[in-house]
Amino acid sequence: MMSSLFRWTKKFNAHKISRMSPSPNLQSPISSLQSPISNLHLSRNEMERAFYTKDASYNGVFFVAVKTTGIFCLPSCPANPKRENVEFFLSAREAVFAGYRPCKRCHPLDVNGAPPRWAKALMERVEKNPDEKITAREMASMGVTPERARRWFLDHYGMTFAEWQRGKRLAEAFTQIRNGQPLSDVVFANGYESHSGFRDAFAKTFGAPPGSVATARRSGDYIAAQFIESPLGPLLAAATRDAICFLEFSDRRMLEFNYKQIRKRFGLPILPTTNDALENLRAELNCYFQGKQKFFTTRLATNGTPFQERVWNELQEIPHGETISYEQLARSIGQPTAVRAVARANGSNRISILIPCHRVIGKDGELTGYGGGLWRKRLLLELERTGHLPGDD
């Protein structure tokens, strides 16, 4: 039984989605978004074996979609469809994009559960010895391929396993610096061969050299950033001490670009941590996606031009469940001839959902551009109109 999400996807020709028949080696149904899974050396036979033996170690490495129900699942899901009715995807994003909805039994979009045993073993080893670099050979001795580790950590943490290791080392170094340990002791205790190598790695991650970030942390002058999972994919959220300054659906491959944008706009280093503003936002978004929240109480830090601020303020006046055109938006701020400028300001919004630029449509009623993708814009409007996402009723 196909949900209305399928009908929407078929109408949305701009994405030119083509459904593929199973082949000996899986090719991505949306080749423009991801490389073929053959790059990870996973054959269809291996994925079928993992799915039908319910091997949880493959959770997050690939996803299984069932054509007859319109559901996509984790490899460990108890579902047992016929082989001819399944197809495989590289990510949950691709499965949603192709018209499938998440399974309510295995919750494939919930990345906050326990990691598979092999991933947990890797993380425990790094936790015990953060200055140790686990090589590909050592991973192989643990029964883990570098490709599998890379894929799983990218999907769940937005970085490769090597980057995750480096982040843990830097986080430990940051804690030591904050606690007053001499920089020289920190550098060599965490496996770095020189001060310059440590400073370069630290500045690339946090946006400032060690001393500046430690000072920022003590003073509170930094941006906290976290991923927040949602039924429509991950959102990168960032906040100052008490206000949200960034919220966008984020392809994890754009993580570094988005960090640069945040740093450029606010001139502050970014720390991969949380704060009260982010946790409040997480709770409110959870209620929003359940259709239980129409208004957000989280404070915003927009930092735009005076004209952008006028447009963004007016966007927040559009009632939940309703839409307006760019022409109406321009008239509402008293500048009816500034339609193009209003559209540019709308597109410059970097706090999605809370500043609901998705509620602006073309004057003919057609959907227009949206940074998170038109398919997400369509689903957000449906959520606000009906109180639930397709397939959740």
* Interatomic CA distance for residues 144 and 124, integer angstroms: 14
Query: Nearest-CA neighbor of 372 among 207, 249, 267, 243?
Result: 249
331 CB burial (10 A radius; 0-12, 13-18, 19+): middle
Q: By C-alpha distance, which of 166, 154, 161 is closest to 136?
A: 161
Place of tokens 């996807």: 9
Q: Which residues are catalytic?
A: 357
Amino acid (one-letter) located at 104: K
Residue pair 266/240 in contact (Cβ under 8 Å)? The answer is: yes
Two structure tokens written together for 199 = 């400073």
Percent composition of the chain: helix, strand, coil (DSSP 3-state, to 5)? 45, 10, 45
Strand partners, 238: 225, 246
One-letter identity of residue 123:
M
Contact residues for 69 (Cβ-Cβ < 8 A; gap 6+): 1, 81
